[in-house]
């Protein structure tokens, strides 16, 4: 890569309450699917780095889990700790909210932000805004709650104002040569992303009947003769949840696995053999050893 003078490289955290569009924003900025999205809140449980490199800038995105204020258990406490940790060392924070929506949960998310890092307010979903005149008073209201370094209204989904957002972010990144290769988009393992794909399908296809406490563990991930063999387990808390996920004659689970496999084949560029099991593990969201297995300290 020819490195331009004044090349900038830095870390960017994306923060905001569940469902405001953080994953969509990251995916659209990276122009490919890495983080997972769903209509259901709280689908991003782990931190994922997305990397975007252009002629002058390397943007290293740190995606964070949805900040949980509603239910307190060990898992959510661990997740909030991940959010808090991930914003300490970044160069700039994107604080994402939805246009015309700013409530107690957004305020709670603002409280975990460190004082020494500049925060850009990103107002997402402006495509939904019928009356653009309502944006100005809204900006005033939100602006009085926190000292934002900048404000950018965007539509992640429709890619409105995303170049402007990148230009703004760049201003807050330090002059540094790139840290990662030009073609790298994430430093998360393929194994990890495979688990995320299954989780996304689970949330999309099973809908509201499945609680956020459900998790996916990738038991085996190996490559043999040009085929990726992936064995995964969906952990649920109750037998009736297991029945819902499996569905009539196993149809639901088959659908989840087929769609996840197709996404994995696209990502890996190779054939994938995927086996998914569902297991009941009562109270796992409060069990320390399972949390450790899932990658939390
Ligand atoms: N209309 C509209 N919808 C959007 C936009 N951006 C995201 N969405 C939708 O909002 C919902 C939530 O988006 P996500 O990207 O999963 O939200 P998130 O903040 O990452 O959610 P968590 O992972 O739960 O924290 C999805 O249905 C998206 O399609 C946008 O610009 N306009």
**Using one digit for the tens of pLDDT, what is the confidence trace for 65-102?**
544 444 455 555 555 565 666 677 789 999 999 999 99
Nearest to 190 by CA among 121, 274, 126: 274
Q: Has residue 221 got a pLDDT over 70?
A: yes
Domains of the chain, each with CATH number or no CATH: 8-171 (3.40.50.300), 190-293 (3.30.300.20)
Mean of pLDDT values over 258-279: 88
pLDDT reported for residue 39: 42
- Calculate the alpha carbon distances from 291 to 75, 235, 238 in Å: 7, 12, 18
Q: Has residue 146 got a pLDDT over 80?
A: yes
- The average confidence (pLDDT) of the chain is 80
For residue 46, name the pLDDT band (cuts at 50, 70, 90).
Answer: very low
Rounded CA separation 43/12 (Å): 20
User: Does ipTM exceed 0.95?
Assistant: yes
What distance in angstroms lies between residue 20's CA and the mean position of ligand 1's atoms?
5
pLDDT reported for residue 37: 47
Which residues are near ligand 1 (CB < 6 Å)?
16, 18-24, 37-39, 41-44, 66, 124-125, 127-128, 155-158
Q: Has residue 107 got a pLDDT over 70?
A: yes
What distance in angstroms lies between residue 27's CA and the mean position of ligand 1's atoms?
11
Q: Please give the annotated binding residues, written as ranges.
A: 16-23, 63-67, 124-127
Q: Give the number of C-alpha atoms closer than 13 A to the C-alpha of residue 46, restricted to the C-beta side.
A: 27
| Segment among 75-84, 134-143, 225-234 with least mean pLDDT | 75-84
């Amino acid at each position: 890569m020819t490195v331009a003078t004044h090349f900038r490289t830095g870390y960017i955290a994306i923060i905001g309450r569940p469902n405001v569009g953080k994953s969509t924003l990251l995916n659209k900025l990276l122009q490919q699917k890495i983080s997972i999205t769903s209509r259901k809140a709280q689908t991003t449980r782990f931190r994922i780095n997305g990397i975007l490199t252009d002629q002058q800038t390397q943007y290293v995105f740190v995606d964070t889990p949805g900040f949980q204020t509603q239910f307190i258990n060990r898992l959510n406490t661990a997740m909030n700790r991940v959010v808090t940790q991930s914003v300490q060392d970044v160069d700039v924070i994107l604080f994402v909210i939805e246009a015309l929506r700013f409530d107690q949960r957004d305020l709670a998310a603002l409280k975990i932000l460190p004082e020494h890092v500049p925060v850009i307010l990103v107002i997402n979903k402006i495509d939904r805004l019928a009356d653009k005149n309502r944006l100005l008073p809204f900006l005033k209201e939100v602006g009085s709650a926190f000292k934002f370094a900048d404000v950018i209204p965007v539509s992640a989904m429709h890619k409105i104002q995303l170049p402007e957002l990148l230009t703004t972010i760049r201003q807050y990144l330090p002059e540094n040569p790139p840290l990662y290769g030009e073609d790298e988009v994430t430093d998360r393992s393929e194994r990890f992303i495979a688990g995320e794909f299954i989780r996304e399908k689970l949330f999309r296809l099973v809908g509201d009947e499945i609680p956020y406490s459900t998790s996916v563990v990738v038991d085996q991930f190996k490559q043999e003769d040009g085929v990726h063999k992936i064995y995964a387990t969906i952990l649920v808390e109750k037998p009736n949840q297991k029945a819902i996920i499996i569905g009539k004659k196993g149809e639901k689970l088959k659908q989840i696995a087929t769609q996840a496999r197709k996404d994995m084949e696209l990502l890996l560029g190779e054939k994938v053999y995927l086996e998914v099991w569902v297991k009941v593990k009562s109270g796992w969201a409060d069990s320390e050893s399972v949390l450790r297995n899932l990658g939390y300290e």
